[in-house]
Amino acid sequence: MSSLQARIYLASRSPRRRELLRQIGVPFDLLVFRGGERGADADVDETPLPGEEVEHYVERIALVKAEAGWRRLQWRTLPLYPVLSADTTIALDGEIIGKPADAADAAAILRRLSGRTHRVLTAVAISDGTQTRSRISTSDVRFRALTDLEIRHYIATGEPMDKAGAYGIQGRAAIFIEEIRGSYTGIMGLPLFETAQLLDAFGYPL
């Protein structure tokens, strides 16, 4: 990729991922379906496969998102820049925990995380139509014990509803977290170390 073509597409609606790419100076265009096309990514089924390990799951979804994003470029006849995607999930007791379905589900998830350590896995993938590569970041996060009142107040902010594990480390939930071991940006949703390695592998000048 020449310096004149040093641009990518971000196949994500996440404002955190946009913020993190800007932090490391990566120019990008958003690649998401417009409201008239659909409300969700119908070409990406995020249902875990029976017995699927969390590492395989999160990497598979990131790869599928990147490849689906590349197909969108072709459908729309857009300039062909590499497509970056990512997927974040939580693992607790061997179970994959994604975004909460509603407020009651968010409360149930936060009660399970209370006073315990869970894993946060984020996979990042890039596709340029000829190759697709991915990397995974895994971190451990420990929550202090949460009261039901704290959980209710946090859910009332609306912050948990679009986030894996029903919390965002960069938001109000920071006060719940006793300790992290791993990548802060990975927990946010885009591990910058792994992202930079992938961009370098695709010839992106950082």
Instruction: Please give the positions annotated as active site.
Output: 87
Of the chain, the end-to-end C-alpha distance in Å amounts to 11
Neighbours of 92 (CB within 10 A): 16
Residue 181 to residues 7, 48, 110, 169, 184: CA-CA distances in angstroms?
A: 32, 26, 19, 13, 8
Q: What whole-number distance in Å separates Cα of residue 62 and Cα of residue 154?
A: 28
Nearest to 43 by CA among 56, 18, 61: 61
For the chain, how are helix, strand and coil distributed in percent, rounded to 5?
40, 25, 35
Query: DSSP strand E in 107-190: where?
Result: 117-127, 132-143, 177-181
State phi, psi for 164 to the nearest 5 degrees: -60, 135
Query: DSSP strand E in 71-114: where?
Result: 83-92, 95-97
